[in-house]
Structures are given as structure tokens and as C-alpha cells.
Amino acid sequence: MATSRSFVPASELLASDLPRAAALPRECTFTETDWRALAPFWYPVAHSHEVTDKPLATRLLDERVVIYRLSDGSVSAARDICYHRGVPLSLGHVEGDEIICKYHGLRYDREGRCTCIPAHPGGPISPRLRLDMYQAQERYGLVWVRLVDDGARTLPKMDEWYDPDYLQVRLDSVDIKAAAGRQIEGFLDVSHFAFIHKESFGEPNNPVVPDYKVTITEHGFVADYISTVSNYAHGYKHLSPSDFQWHRRFETFLPFTAKLTVTFPGGGQLHILNAASPVSARKTRLFVPLCRNFDKDSPIEQTLDFNYQVFAEDMEIVERQFPEDLPLNLQDEAHFAADRSSITYRRGLAALGLGRSYTS
């Protein structure tokens, strides 16, 4: 296994390498070690079009987060609280480069510093009146946030999103009553197509999973899966030659993002970024930007309806899995050869420092 930063267990880091410990959220549903292992990574929290000069409240890893857009178009994120009297900043509004608390009008700049107390203009300002700011950036039509800065970490990659030859498709986010790890493992699974997706694209008479290769990368792993299972929705199967070999490449970015690339007959490619954002230990908000370089004139509604159907089919199972936590101890469940991606995924999460009683 690669010895990249992403795979270094927290137990092996020196104290000097660790960021200053942040306080855990109130009523945190994660173990402390799991929360601290997950907090430095990037997660999507909203679509870009949702973020305006009206502050938007969201949650990430049980933390209350407010995101808002400044006058220069950039996005800011902060803990959703004004330390004067504990009012959520998401109730306020933005003027220029400042967010303004609804309760007493306190103003905070892009660095989180309080610049004005209207009740005492020109008076002293307590250094405690400073927001907890989080790193935020936009990519693939999404706003990404990380709660702890432990050094540079890159976002998952889907460069095709910015290729002018590709059609961008923006799907609504989906709320799932399950752990983010369970959702990602389900996305990576290739042996459930014939059973769970038999109403959308699965082929009940074609359940066999050919052997496939998994390659470790610095950010996770890649699994290349080739089979005759068509990716076309039922009703369009005739578009695929019966002997066509469908290549599906799953590129995993630990902990909770995976990119699927499907090569269609004729060489066209579909790219799907499955980004599971852990709202809490057992609540997930799924963001799925996708793009393709074929059928660009087809009605977009067909693509949306098909993907929402696939999401619903997966959710019916993922929300009912037990135990709710994803077991990282491989001895806790049985496995077979088609589970190679799942096994690699669980080992990768364990290498991040997550506990065996993993709660996300």
C-alpha cells in the first residue's frame, strides 16, 4: 500500500505534525478519534447556485456551518454562531465583504474579525468576537469545505467537467439516512447490479462478476471493471451490441468520494462524481455532478430521471443495512471475490486512523 499522507494512521503522526485541536461539535455523533481523522478532508456542502449573499446554513460532521458569497464572488464558510450571544449567523445578511449578525448588527470581515459593534461605534472590540472560519472553494458546481487545516489537501479530480466537449449535468443533492461509508461502498459494489437495479439498468440473467483489478493510488485506489452488463436504461438496451465489453473505472478518493467513468459504444464517456458528505455519523448528503461527451442533444430530463431512479434503488438497501456503521474489521463480515473494491476501501479507511467501531 502507498505511504502517502492520505494513508498515514493518525497514531503515527508526531504531535508537532498535528493541527491545534478543534472543539468537537455539540452532541457529536462520531467518536473523537474518528471526527479528528475526518475533519481535515474536503466535502461538498452545497451547490454553487445555492450560495448567494443570503447566508446558507448547513451541517458537516455534526458542525453547524454557514456559507455565503462576498461581493467579489468568492465563497466564505464559518461556524454558524456569533460569539456575542450565540445567534446563528445564517439568520443575518451580507454586505460587501462582511457578514452581519441579525441580533445586534455585529459585522465580521472575510477573516472573521469583528469590525463594528453598532451599539458602541468606535469602541473597543473584544478579541473573542472572532468567527471560526473554514477553508472553502468551488469546484464542479459545488462548494467544498474542510473543518480542520492540517496542511495542503487536494480535492477529488474530475477534470472533464471543465472540458468544453462535455455536457454538464447538475442533479439535486440527495439526503440519505445512512453512513457515508456505507453509501460509498454501495457505489463501488459491482455485484448488486442484477438484483438492486433490475428495474433501471441491471440484467437479472447476467449476474456474474468477472475478475477485476484494483490499484492503490496516493488518494485511494482505482478499480477497472469490464463486463457485458449494459449501462443503458431498460428501453435503450438495443443501442448496445450484445457482446460489447463495458469498461467501468472506479477512482476512489478517501474518505467519501468516488468517480465512475463508463465507456459507451462508440467511445463516448460518462463521468459521475459520487461525493458523500457526512452530515452526521448516520446522515449523508449525496452530491453527484456528472458530465458526458455524447448524446449532448438528448433531453436532460431522461438523464435526471434515470439517475434519481438508481439513487432510490440504492437507498432502499443502504438505509437498511445493519450494523449501521461500516465494519472496518474484515473479520466482522464474510466476503467473496467480487468484494475486492469493498475490502480495499475498508482497509483504506482504517489506514486513515478510523476505529474498528467506525461511526461514519
Q: How many Cβ atoms sit within 10 Å of the Cβ of residue 93?
A: 15
Q: Which helix (H) or strand (E) holds 348?
A: helix 340-351
185 and 133 share one domain: no
26 within domain boundaries: no
235 and 203 share one domain: yes
Position 21 scores a pLDDT of: 56
Half-sphere exposure of 339 (CA within 13 A, CB side): 9
| Bond from prior residue into 255 cis (ω within 30 degrees of 0) | yes
Domain boundary among 146, 177, 197: 146
256 and 328 share one domain: yes
DSSP for 143-198 reads: EEEES---S--PPP--GGGG-TTSEEE-PPPEEESS-HHHHHHHHH--SSHHHHTT
176 and 299 share one domain: yes
Residue pLDDT, tens place only, 141-164: 999 999 999 999 999 999 999 999
185 and 295 share one domain: yes
Position 17 scores a pLDDT of: 40
The C-alpha cell at 198 is 433490475
> Residue 315 in 3-state DSSP?
helix
303 within domain boundaries: yes
230 and 315 share one domain: yes
Q: How many Cβ atoms sit within 10 Å of the Cβ of residue 15?
A: 5
Domain boundary among 119, 146, 173: 146
4 within domain boundaries: no
247 and 324 share one domain: yes
- The count of domains in the chain is 2
Task: Tell me how far apart the alpha carbons of residues 162 and 223 are, in angstroms, rounded to a whole number.
Answer: 24
Task: Tell me how far apart the alpha carbons of residues 94 and 66 are, in angstroms, rounded to a whole number.
Answer: 12
Crossing angle for the helix pair 180-188 and 300-318, to the nearest 10 degrees: 120
91 and 180 share one domain: no
**CATH number (domain holding residue 76):** 2.102.10.10
**Cα–Cα nearest to 155, from 289, 277, 42:** 42
Q: How many Cβ atoms sit within 10 Å of the Cβ of residue 330?
A: 15
30 within domain boundaries: no
**CATH number (domain holding residue 169):** 3.90.380.10
Domain boundary among 146, 171, 201: 146
Whether the CB-CB separation of 238 and 204 falls below 8 Å is answered with no
136 and 182 share one domain: no
177 and 140 share one domain: no
DSSP E strands, the chain: 43-47, 56-60, 63-69, 75-79, 93-95, 98-100, 107-108, 114-116, 133-139, 142-146, 167-169, 174-176, 213-216, 220-227, 246-253, 257-263, 269-280, 283-287, 290-292
CA 55 to chain centre: 21
Position 353 scores a pLDDT of: 92
The percentage of the chain sitting over the pLDDT mark of 90, rounded to a whole number, equals 86
125 and 185 share one domain: no
172 and 298 share one domain: yes
The phi-psi region of residue 134 (left if phi > 0; otherwise alpha if psi is between -120 and 50; otherwise beta) is: beta
How far, CA to CA in Å, does 272 sit from each of 158, 219, 260, 314, 355? 8, 17, 5, 15, 29
Low-confidence ranges of the chain (pLDDT < 50): 1-20, 358-360
The whole domain housing 89 covers 41-146
153 within domain boundaries: no
17 within domain boundaries: no
280 within domain boundaries: yes
69 within domain boundaries: yes
